[in-house]
Structure formats: C-alpha cells, structure tokens
Amino acid sequence: MISIGEIARQLIQKTPFLEEAMEEDLINISSLARKLKPQIEEILHKEIQLGAVIIAIKRMKPDYPRKMNIGLKEFINNLGDFIVRSGLMHYTFENSNTLALRQRDLIMQISENQIYFTVSHGVFETTLVVSNSITNLVNQLFADEKLIFQKPNLSSVTLRLPVKRSETVGFYYYILKNLALKKINIEELISTTNEFTILVSDKDIDPAFSVLMNLKNP
C-alpha cells in the first residue's frame, strides 16, 4: 500500500515551487498538512490523523540541492549583455507548401535593413516575430496563408549565453521560475545556441528586465 509520505510528496511536487518554498522555510507545515489531509484520505479511502501528515512532510527530503549549485551561479554571473527590443508583432501561420517561399520573399526584402525578424518552424505551424515597421509587408506577402494567431504590442529581452550553456543544468528553469513568481506572462520563447529571447507584452517588459538584472546582479 502506498504510504502517507509518498502521497504527500506526489501532491507537493504537483504544485509549482511549493517544494522549494518548503526548503526555504516559507511554508507553515501544519497549514500545509491540513490542506493535504483530505486529498490523502481520498486516495487512501480512510481517515488519518493530522499528526501523521505533519510527520510525513517533515521527513521529506528535497529532490534538488538545498542551494543553487556553484556551476549555475557562475553561469548566471557570466551572462552577457541584455538586449531589449520593443514594437514587435507575433504571427503564427499553419504550415503549407508555399509558406517557406513567403518567408524567402520576406527575407529578401528586408535583408539590407536592420529589422528584427525571427522564425520558428514547427511540425504543424510556423511563428514569425517581426518589427512593427514591416507588418504591412508581412500582411501582404502572407495574405494567402492561414493565420492561426496574431498579437501586437510585444517586447523582447535577449540574453547572450555563456559557451557552457549545454553543460549547465537548471538554467532555463531558474530563469522562468523567477519570472513566473513575479506573475510575468511569457508570450514566446526563442533560442539559438548562444542566445535566449523572452517575448512579453509591452507592459511586462520593465518588470521582466528588472527580474533578469537582479538575477545577474543580486
């Protein structure tokens, strides 16, 4: 039979950031136990004592290091400059036999200008993020393509990543967790080998930039 402790662990791990908050002593164990008790009883199909839940929670060992590992700290400290852009438009089109040709036409017309343009080609759809200055051109070139989603008034923060990106465990989680804790909604993520771009609404760009700067320079 599954134990009270194992059920409590599974329930806690389903809640974003709860285990970390417990490790930092930010959670009242008794209150948490009272909240989990009915769920545990439902799974076990019997009543249990609150004290048993409290003891089970206190005996839990976290599945992650107590402190951020040295490698991740060093990685964060070595992040390059942050590049902020505003006035962006997000498009998502359904993939088609002609979509790549439209992308080629767009690139040819903007190649001589310093205009922000990214493309992410998925299995079923393709996302473009472009400067507002060329939205009319995009609308014209992609007029015959099936538009799935479109959103204006976006901004981005691009992080230049250290070379050891692939060797550093937990970097993306660490960044996204801190943004989520500040209730910053991420519209899109764009990455290359040594760049990581976070797309947010214009109203969120200042707090997002502040969060990232505080991570780099605590």
For 93-105, what is each residue's pLDDT tens digit?
Answer: 999 999 999 999 9
Over residues 156-205, the pLDDT tens digits come to: 999 988 776 666 777 888 888 889 888 999 999 998 888 899 999 999 99
Partners of 90 in the beta sheet? Answer: 129, 151
pLDDT given at position 111: 81
| pTM: predicted TM-score of the whole model, two decimal places | 0.71
- Contact between residue 45 and residue 17 where contact means Cβ atoms under 8 Å apart: no
Q: Strands (DSSP E) along 49-170, which ranges?
A: 82-94, 117-121, 125-131, 147-160
Could you tell me which residue, 156 or 111, shows the higher pLDDT? 156
Give percent above pLDDT 70 in the chain. 92
Given a cut of 80, whether residue 119 has pLDDT beyond it is yes
Question: In 3D, which of 167, 169, 205 has the Cα closest to residue 185?
Answer: 205
Given a cut of 50, whether residue 66 has pLDDT beyond it is no
The stretches of the chain forming alpha helices (DSSP H) are: 4-13, 18-23, 29-44, 50-58, 70-77, 99-110, 135-141, 171-181, 205-216
Given a cut of 60, whether residue 67 has pLDDT beyond it is no
Burial of 62 (0-12, 13-18, 19+ CB in 10 A): exposed
Cβ neighbours of 28 (radius 10 Å): 10
- Window from 53-62, 71-80, 162-171, 194-203 with minimum mean pLDDT: 162-171
pLDDT given at position 59: 86
Q: State the distance between the two ends of the chain, measured CA to CA, in whole angstroms.
A: 46
Longest dimension (CA), the chain: 71
Given a cut of 90, whether residue 88 has pLDDT beyond it is yes
Give the mean pLDDT of the chain.
87
Domains, the chain, ordered by start: 4-58 (no CATH), 76-216 (3.30.2130.10)
